A and B are shown apart, each in its own frame.
Chain A
Amino acid sequence: MAPHDIRRPFKRAAISDQQKRRELSLLRQAQNRRDAQQQARCLASSILSLQSAAPESQPEQSDTEIETVPESEQESEAFSKDLDVRQASKLRGPEVRKWFARQLMLPEWMIDVPDRLAQDWYVFARPAGKRCFVVSSNGTTVSRQRNGSILHHFPSALPAGAKIRDGSGSAQSYCILDCIFHELDQTYYVIDMVCWNGYSLYDCTAEFRFYWLNSKLEESGACNAPSHYHKFRFSAVPVYNCDSSGLYSAYTGVVPYAKDGLLFYNKHALYQTGNTPLALVWKDENCSQYVIDTDGKGEIPSQQQVVLELQDDRKLVTSDDPPVLFGCLDGDIIEKSGLHTGNLLRFAIGDGGLSFADGKLEKADLIYLGKSNRARAFADSYSKVLFQFMVRHSPLKIDDLLASINSANDQEKTPSDIEMVG
């Protein structure tokens, strides 16, 4: 039994740097693991809370895209929508894409002119390009297209958009912008503001959102030329009151971008995800290169094509909520082509065209072409089909819009708040 060694560390730091490296690595890994878990958890919660929070969703409507469990109204309030967008924006994978596809406010196509256009609506020229959500948070900025795929991942001058220590960006700060990326001048044109510097604008009217957008965006420096910490320029678009001069300016005015139609926003409408009649899109050859839909090869097909969703009882419907019935598919075709409920199918509209009764679709002459492109997430909306149909047969012209504004002016004196029962 030898004497026991009693030497103690002498003039040494208590911890070795290697041990420190090991521990810091473990710390980083644990943090990353927590983040990944947290994101996965929030993803689900956000799908749920957003769907039930959307005013038009109805409990009995089954959703074949994503398996979800309805929840009580009360619970949904625990999660704010914008926070979910922010967290979901960091994620990848097919589920996220589907989820993202539902987060943008999607304008309906203008198939008739709304009342009080001059009083209640804004108009602006839509930039040609990719519609996307831009989310800045935690020192980085991510843009995601309508199908959920990431367009860019970059530093920006938006609040919390880049890792620069100016002391202002708290961890809670983030922004969500509804943008169109214009390829030619590599600029993000901001067409709506959903969230700014941690402040949610979902529940604000378009009037307020546009006011806020115009004042805040400029202030942030996001409109400046690109630099090391600011990879892409942002820009607001000129928005007009939709009176005759506003409409004229939007239609003919010179803008730094290629136009793709006009967008009309109801001033009193909140930011609502999915299709909404409170935002409208309208196009003609003068203000858009893409008035009539093209096919996969970029050519205009001789017959109008539509994409409809096949339902349980062979019904063919649009993506609207509630869906609009366009017809029924032959059992034969379903069997022969091995089709299932939920499939998106492509049809041509035959010479019979669309027929209406009392302003409602009565009959459509559909010719089955096949399954739609896989990248499609949704069927066409009713307004789109109709707009395309009108473009080919009796388009709604700019003159009609102007005329509507002018005639409305004439009628201004007569009270318009009569309940229609028709």
Chain B
Amino acid sequence: MAMEVTQVLLNAQSIDGAVRKNAEDSLKQFQEQNLPVFLVSLSGELANEEKPVETRKLAGLVLKNALDAKEQHRKFELVQRWLSLDGNAKSQIKACLLTTLTSPVSDARSTASQVIAKVAGIELPHKQWPELIGSLLSNVHQLPAQAKQATLETLGYLCEEVSPDVIDQDQVNKILTAVVQGMSSSEGNTDVRLAATRALYNALGFAQANFSNDMERDYIMRVVCEATLSPEVRIRQAAFECLVSISSTYYEKLAPYIQDIFNITAKAVREDEEPVALQAIEFWSSICDEEIDILEEYGGDFTGDSDIPCFYFIKQALPALVPMLLETLLKQEEDQDQDEGAWNIAMAGGTCLGLVARTVGDDIVPLVVPFIEENISKPDWRQREAATYAFGSILEGPSPEKLIPLVNVALTFMLSALTKDPNSHVKDTTAWTLGRIFEFLHGSVVDSPIISQANCQQIITVLLQSMKDTPNVAEKACGALYFLAQGYEEMGPSSPLTPFFQEIVQSLLTVSHREDAGESRLRTAAYETLNEVVRCSTDETAPLVLQLVPVIMMELHNTLEGQKLSSDEREKQSELQGLLCGCLQVIIQKLGASEPTKYVFMQYADQIMGLFLRVFACRSATVHEEAMLAIGALAYATGADFAKYMPEFYRYLEMGLQNFEEYQVCAVTVGVVGDISRALEEKIVPYCDGIMTQLLKNLSSNQLHRSVKPPIFSCFGDIALAVGEYFEKYLMWAMSALQSAAELSTHIAGDDELVEYTNSLRNGILEAYSGIFQGFKNSPKTQLLIPYAPHILQFLDGIYMEKDMDDVVMKTAIGVLGDLADTLGSHAGSMIQQSVSSKDFLNECLSSEDLMIKESAEWAKLAISRAISV
């Protein structure tokens, strides 16, 4: 029943656009008319040794695309489509695919491997195609090398595609045996050995049981370590990748091998080709990641019962590891600081050194200081840069007591190097190191300040001077200033930066206007720093922040005056608008937080809003988000007067809510609806129909990113609280959406991430209930809520029983119990008394150490006893 597709596929790769278009159309038509025949034909094409390699490959690719897609909902559709496909057709296709694995044409084999994995990804979880793994492995030893390689590759893809729980241990054992044997030094064929090594990388996640078995683990580890010594560089690289993966997946099993691994990695770092050396360094970075996580969970309490104990591999390896990493620092590339995508051994080594410092703390300092002292003043820029980088790397981790004496000595030297060193690379690293000094050792966390009135002036002068340096150096100088300002946050009514405020702001604006501000993300850094300077400013400089408003407004205005722009220019314009809207947002939030400055600021509100509306008219997703955030801040500052902007703003609000693709934009817009509800109160009523309709639509969509759903529920609460009994119109719909979400979120089975999401969902649902109950309070329509009360109490019982709610949920939940009692009064009294766990829940909250929970609980207790006493 297959059809001839060769010519169409050839045409689909034609350089003639019209021919190509035509061919694509006929493929599409074919697919729509008879899907089974279409797919069988493609698999036949792929398997047919007489067909040209290009059409075989393309046939496989089209087949693969008929099985999988990036977007979740599309993927789901394709899976369902395949599962319901005619059984005969599926058998034919699978037979063709397996045959192709033995093809002499390597591209055909490789394509078939990938398609087999996709089919397996769909069928194995449904307990279909049970014979697949057996048939792949049945005669793997007798196969010619090419077929063996294709089989191993298929196993690799398969392990990437399916989750470990759908393959039983028996089959896992078979897969691992084949893969590890294929990797071993006795395997003479390089391609086979490489395919096996890469397959192991994916299969490691299946090997939990095998890694618990000493003999099997020893065997796997021996084979991997041997592969790192293979004469073939790709095999060595793949083997180190396996080690990196093992370091995070099986950290707790590594102790017996760590000495050998250190020797192997040290040799690779010093002698091997860069791709291999980078993986070898990554192994130690990955070990640092693990130990940092474990030690963080210990929380400094070494008797704590963390699941995985810390083996202190880094601490033990320290005397040898640190010198090895310091050596790498001297292998810089000339222009690495100008190249965005650069990643080399010096960068990897420096990054690893920083992680080691975070892992071991004080112990690293004496090992690094001699290197710094020896190299920091050398004539060779590489030595000066390496010394500076080493210093910058160890600033996070060790205690301030240990570091501050060093910093006090180094600060003057660094400031001088930043202005005088002839090498741009050294200056770049120096400015970065200054930024790290201010980030970790300056501010209220440190007892003895490293910045005094005496050197503050000098620091600022040097940083402002460096902002005129090359873009990469200027960007680091901005970063240093960012952390300098941050350290002065909450320092009281008077900031040491006050005398320099005007000059700093002026310099940052000048930087943002530099011709080359587009390089090294300099303009972004300048605005980010300006934002932080504004955020951390005090009342003393409020008049200067006010003066900044018309300046930034003018900048934004200028971006809107553009003529016809190329797409490249439009992208730049949109990026700049994003930065300016972000800056205005920070300013509005700052000035809006205090009554006197808010009054003066409000004179600009109309104009600013006008500008934001024009920015929306330019249509760009990221700008949307920044302008939307800024409007939220503006609505909060403006209060009920914001109503005058609503007629014009509303359509953009709606557009934001409809933006499913850029879900961040959608999420931000939902938050702004909350801001506006609180600002407008009853005046939001005319817009409620549109907003509520869209929000309900969003909830029922499976295309919207799930993280947006909890804020939508919270938003229901905001609206209900603002409009009171007017919410009646939406009550039925909102309650039904809440009810089904509540049912879903009572029981969680899953990983930490899912637990976290479920708790945020619960919080959103509970905030919605609170808003609705408080909104209806004192209205004659409270009785409308009575029918929903039993379910809500059941929901509260449910999450109380599950014992996995976080503090935020606990606080919101006990508040809802109070709201229910407060609004329904005697109607709620008996229901609460009869509910399974209300009393225990309340008592638990009353004795909570979290003040917010306690406060809510006390309020709830009052409301409940009042409801019960009637």
Contact = CB atoms under 8 A, between A and B. Distances in A.
Interface of A: 1, 3-4, 6-8, 10-11, 13, 16-18, 21-22, 24-26, 28-29, 32-33, 36-37, 40-41, 44-45, 47-48, 66-67, 69-72, 75, 78-79, 92-93, 95, 139-140, 154-155, 162-165, 167, 228-229
B815 A75 contact: no
B157 A18 contact: no
B241 interface: yes
Interface in B600-614: none
B632 A72 contact: no
B446 to A, nearest CB: 19
A21 B671 contact: no
Contact of A45 (B524, B859, B869): B859
Interface in B342-359: 342-343, 347-348, 350-351
Contacts of A7: 343
Given A17-B532, A25-B629, A162 B596 contact: yes
B595 A3 contact: no
A155 B596 contact: yes
Contacts of A44: 777-778, 822
B633 interface: yes
Given A21-B531, A69-B826, A69-B866, A228 B671 contact: no
B771 interface: yes
Interface string B382-400: 0000000000000000000
A72 B596 contact: no
A228 B596 contact: yes
B539 interface: yes
Contact of A6 (B282, B531, B822, B869): B282
Contacts of A69: 825-826, 866-867, 870
Interface string B639-682: 01000000000000000000000001000100100110010011
B115 interface: no
Nearest to B811: A34
B531 A17 contact: yes
Contacts of B640: 92
Contacts of B199: 1
A93 B279 contact: no
B675 A163 contact: no
Nearest to B822: A44
Contact of B774 (A37, A75, A139): A37
Given A28-B636, A69-B825, A21 B777 contact: no
Q: Which 4 A-B pairs have the closest CB atoms?
A: A17-B528, A163-B594, A40-B774, A165-B493
A41 B819 contact: yes
Contact of B721 (A17, A36, A78): A36
Interface in B738-787: 767, 770-771, 774-775, 777-778, 780, 782
A93 B671 contact: no
A41 B674 contact: no
A3 B351 contact: no
Contacts of B866: 48, 69, 71-72, 75
Contact of A10 (B351, B435, B822, B858): B351
9 contacts: A1-B201, A6-B348, A17-B531, A28-B633, A33-B714, A36-B721, A37-B774, A66-B778, A163-B539
A25 B244 contact: no
Contacts of A45: 822, 859, 862-863
B278 interface: yes
Contact of A8 (B285, B538, B714, B825): B285
A44 B859 CA distance: 11
Contacts of A24: 589
Interface in B450-488: 476, 479, 482
A22 B629 contact: yes
- Main secondary structure on A side of the interface with B: loop
A365 B511 CA distance: 85
Contacts of A93: 681-682, 724
B629 A21 contact: yes
Contacts of B782: 67
B206 interface: no
A202 B198 CA distance: 80
A403 B487 CA distance: 73
B290 interface: no
B671 A29 contact: yes
A29 B596 contact: no
Contact of B539 (A22, A28, A71, A165): A165
Interface of B: 153, 156-157, 160, 198-199, 201-202, 237-238, 241, 244, 275, 278-279, 282, 285, 342-343, 347-348, 350-351, 428-429, 432, 435, 439, 476, 479, 482, 492-493, 524, 527-528, 531-532, 538-539, 578, 582, 585-586, 589, 593-596, 626, 629, 632-633, 636, 640, 664, 668, 671, 674-675, 678, 681-682, 714, 717-718, 721, 724, 767, 770-771, 774-775, 777-778, 780, 782, 815, 818-819, 822, 825-826, 858-859, 862-863, 865-867, 869-870
Given A3-B238, A6-B278, A69-B866, A155 B678 contact: no
A164 to B, nearest CB: 7
B626 A18 contact: yes
Contacts of B156: 1
A72 B479 contact: no
Contacts of A26: 671
A266 B866 CA distance: 35
Given A33-B717, A33-B767, 18 more contacts: A1-B153, A1-B156, A1-B199, A6-B278, A8-B348, A10-B347, A11-B428, A16-B528, A17-B532, A21-B531, A25-B671, A33-B714, A45-B862, A71-B866, A72-B866, A75-B869, A78-B858, A155-B596
Nearest to B867: A69
Nearest to A2: B198
A93 B685 CA distance: 14
B38 to A, nearest CB: 29
Nearest to A166: B493
Contacts of B632: 25, 29
Contacts of A154: 595
A77 to B, nearest CB: 10
Nearest to B492: A165
Given A17-B582, A29-B675, A140-B595, A41 B774 contact: yes
Contacts of B238: 3
A139 B592 CA distance: 12
B823 to A, nearest CB: 8
Contacts of A228: 596
Contact of A18 (B432, B532, B582, B774): B582
A33 B822 contact: no
A44 B776 CA distance: 12
B523 to A, nearest CB: 12
B760 to A, nearest CB: 11
Contacts of A36: 678, 718, 721
A138 to B, nearest CB: 10
A79 B861 CA distance: 13
A395 to B, nearest CB: 43
Contacts of B527: 17
A167 B538 CA distance: 14
Nearest to A48: B866
Contacts of A1: 153, 156-157, 160, 198-199, 201-202
Nearest to A17: B528
Nearest to A3: B237
A93 B779 CA distance: 12
Given A18-B582, A70-B870, A75-B862, A41 B818 contact: yes
A167 B539 CA distance: 13
A407 to B, nearest CB: 51
A251 to B, nearest CB: 40
Contacts of B348: 6, 8
Contact of B674 (A3, A33, A48): A33
A18 B589 CA distance: 14
A283 to B, nearest CB: 37
B212 to A, nearest CB: 25
Contacts of B867: 69
